[in-house]
Amino acid sequence: QVHLVESGGGSVQAGGSLRLSCSVPIATYPGNCVAWFRQPPGGKREQVASISIHGGTAYHGASVKGRFTISLDKAKSTVYLQMNTLKPEDTALYYCAAGVRYIDRDDFCLDRALDEYYDWGQGTQVTVSS
């Protein structure tokens, strides 16, 4: 089990920006994908973005596409989630997760099941005021 650590959460007004960071051993990680999930108060956990460890192929959920960007820096062993033009509905606990054992299709990091991610961070709170 690999322990992931998120940072960068906080409170911001609507329209503002935040950048979340996730420390993960990209070079040696025994999996293929890193993803960001979020869980709003009283809501379900959902994927917001994912990226391939191998080549940087990235995917973004429809609700955040054009506003959020996932990226990775192998040299710093860090995955980022840049969040721009934040909205109140973006308020949630954000989790970094890593996993996906099998490369079974070309878009192998797209919309994988929750239980395919087997290493998780503790979560970092993002609160966007109206």
Helix, strand, or coil here: 90? helix
How far apart are the C-alpha atoms of 92 and 58, rounded to whole Å? 21
Residue 113 confidence (pLDDT): 93
Residue 1 confidence (pLDDT): 81
Residue 127 confidence (pLDDT): 98
Token pair belonging to 80: 């980022």
Bridge partners for 36 per DSSP:
49, 96
CA distances from 101 to 63, 85, 112 (A): 27, 34, 11
Residue 20 confidence (pLDDT): 98
**pLDDT < 50 stretches in the chain:** none
Q: DSSP secondary-structure letter at 41? A: T
